[in-house]
Structure 1
């Protein structure tokens, strides 16, 4: 009746990219089939502390396993300067649906990074050209690392073009991946011309122009996670086969939220949710497609799926610290 405690290093060790991508794809499929429960993300606003809490619960059943969990995550922008703490911290509780036993309590920040990269990989696998071998990364923070690691499990990436205003971030990325890939710094336009592009910036004014995007480029729009954020020019979204992760979340806080609120983009411009593409209810890339775009806001089912991978690996390889969190008896 033990619960595993898994810190950031343990989660990073156990979140093997290929396995997480497979699990996240299964999560999208379960959601599309109706084999998942995912209540809306709930918020506790704390203006007196310039922050908030968010809870993200979910249950899913894949046919091979089922799992439940909740991620408790915050956003406190003043933390770094005022308290020497991260702006965002997350904790994931992964539970046995049959007994409700908390199987693991794990770092949710690392988990989020890995599952976000995995979502882009699932979308890339279904929407990018099969022979894609170049990846453009616009924004080269920690999430860009996860994007490359995950996308490289579904496409044979050889060349990586990185664009960022921070030379230190570019240097760190090149040091991390320069031996495995041909990595070079480029402009936003050069990155946007690659076969696959992932954008991971927090901007509120579009920075990727329509004319820069390649004729058959697939774009993973990952940066918009709040109302008003917007990385891609509207013309990109309007010209693309547009796939989203969840209609309610994307129209409220995803890449499409600004043009959707303005009426520039409507439901008629949205091709499908990714889960419907995964299960074959809607088409992925076809020979007739030009630009494709995936709008990702991040779903609680992705956290549960990734937590399942982490827990299973940790259990088999003796990773983490076991503790008697729940006692026996009645």
Structure 2
């Protein structure tokens, strides 16, 4: 008989800390660069087109001797049933025995590791003296991006947030400091937070831009981007999505999290198809930069881009961390198989 741990979203949110997740995400990027991981083909299935589907992403972390998968479902009709439309689970297995180690909710883990990814892109590619951050989007992911950015770049002085609806941005900004303190134990009293509907001027003022929208039409124009700007593109994670002008890519230093996945569905997908850039414009994966296998920014005038579509490897490694912490903190349920 085998005993496994089961962690709910509430349990995971109690024990995971952003600095720990950033460390895990960074270690996964490095392991991937060192050839110590395998990413397996994604399974996507439409139960009913535009009404119900599932997405299964999986992989193997050889250095940790674990493998697993994240299964996410979307059933639009659940709104009428007063049920969540989106749901996800992460399953982690031992690569030594094949026995499941545990199951966790995917929502919070995905949010944390995505925030960590955007921040690591900025940490390694933005100018060292960067002080002004712009978050494009005021949805669920935005608070995680801010928490991660303040963890890796605590010297940030101003954070602006913009969304399609200024009221949405203002509502989000009004709660940021309390949420950072309560949810992430981050004190941000020295940071200026501002909601804005003046996207052009906000872009021009910013050292770092993080895009977290589902847009299929470029939001940020090339002529707005100033010398030295860094952009972490997070929202483009499926075919047809695009958040920034293709022409921005042509003169930028481009890094990706997973090259093959980004070629298919990342921010670079459309500029590649348009012929504005080629694969040779991609300097490397972020793990290569972290390990100094390639050179990133070499001057304060360069524009840098990190295209992050997300990897199941990050979910699996973060879920393993949560499962380990749950033992120490006596959180979660145990079930026998």
Partner SS state of residue 240, structure 2: coil
Q: Distance in 1 between matches of 2:69 and 2:174?
A: 35
Change beyond 3 A, Cα 1:212–1:278: same
Gaps of 5+ in 2: 179-186
Residue 316 of structure 1: how far off its partner (Å): 0.9
How far did residue 49 of structure 1 move?
A: 7.0
Task: Select between 50-59 and 17-26 the one with higher mean Cα deviation.
Answer: 50-59
The alignment partner of 1:271 has SS state of strand
Question: Compared with structure 1, are the counterparts of its residues 174 and 66 closer, same or farther at alpha carbon in structure 2 (3 Å cutoff)?
Answer: farther
Shift of 1:170: 3.4
Kept after mapping to 1: 8 A contact 2:284/2:294: yes
Q: Which residue of 2 aligns with 1:21?
A: 22
Over aligned residues, Cα RMSD in angstroms?
1.9
Query: Is 1:222 aligned with 2:237?
Result: no
Deviations 1:238-279 (A, max 9, x none): 121011112221121111111212222211221211121122
Distance 1:83 1:241 in 2: 47
Candidates 106, 112, 115, aligned match of 1:114: 112
TM-score by length of 1: 0.91
Instruction: Determine if contact 2:65/2:96 at 8 Å carries over to the other structure.
Output: no
Q: CA deviation at 1:102?
A: 1.9
Looking at structure 2, the residues matched to 234 and 182 of structure 1 have their Cα atoms a distance apart, in angstroms, of 31
Instruction: Classify the secondary structure of the residue corresponding to 2:316.
Output: helix
1:129 matched to which residue of 2? 127
Larger mean Cα displacement after TM superposition, 263-272 or 162-171: 162-171
Counterparts of 1:126-275 in structure 2, within 5 Å, are 126-156=124-154, 157-166=156-165, 167-177=167-177, 180=188, 181-186=191-196, 187-192=198-203, 193-275=205-287
Ranges in structure 1 where 5+ consecutive residues have no aligned partner: none
Distance 1:67 1:319 in 2: 21
User: Contact 2:135 / 2:159 at 8 angstroms: preserved in 1?
Assistant: yes
CA contact (8 A) 1:88 1:109 kept: no
Q: Alignment length, in residue pairs?
A: 322
Give the Cα separation in 1 of the matches to 2:140 and 2:170.
11
The 1:82–1:265 alpha-carbon spacing in structure 2 relative to 1, beyond 3 Å, is farther
What is the TM-score when the length of structure 2 is the normalising length?
Answer: 0.90
SS at match of 1:152: helix
Report SS of the residue matched to 1:106.
strand
Partner of 1:272, secondary structure, is: strand
Superposed displacement of residue 222, structure 1: 0.6
Contact 1:130 1:155 in 2 (8 A): no
- 93-102 or 194-203: which moved more? 93-102
Distance 1:92 1:81, change over 3 A: same
1:99 aligns with 2:97: yes
